[in-house]
Amino acid sequence: MSSPLNPLTKGQQEFCTWTGIFGVLIASATLIQHMVFMIPNILTYLMILPYLFIIFSFTMLAAQKVAASVLLIISTVFALLIAVLLILSGAFSPVVVILLIYSIVVTSYLYLENIQEKLRRKQALQRAEEDLWKGKI
């Protein structure tokens, strides 16, 4: 069931929350791995920024924000670039591959189930509600 101000079903809300939380955990694990095992140079320090962006993207999904769908597409590209960089450098990390696959699956599911459209509708309904009550209280 969905409320008048939230067109997402309970299952879709839980999907956003839990996949966002697990995405943050996986991305945090890859960031910690990267910081522990990296060889200090400018490229490895620059690779920290995409990890932080991926963590932010999954946080936005857990918070059910509209921007999450676009941020997750960018995050998936970042995860792919990180995986390619690691493979080209001769390293292999199962956690990075898991992050890449997880990002692809979550982003695909978001668009297949049209959740991003419902998030947009939710934001529009909340803005309309705020505008309705503005100045009355």
Q: Which residues pair with 3 in a beta bridge?
A: 6
Contact 2, 8 (CB under 8 A): yes
Residue spans per domain, the chain: 10-133
Confidence of residue 137 (pLDDT cuts 50, 70, 90): low
Mean pLDDT, all residues of the chain: 88
pTM metric for this prediction: 0.85
Q: Check pLDDT > 60 for residue 2.
A: no
- Closest to 66 (Cα-Cα) out of 20, 21, 116: 116
Contact 30, 95 (CB under 8 A): yes
pLDDT average, residue stretch 10-30: 92
Q: CA neighbours within 13 Å on the CB side: how many for 51? A: 20
pLDDT average, residue stretch 85-98: 91
Backbone torsions φ then ψ of 64, nearest 5 degrees? 60, 50
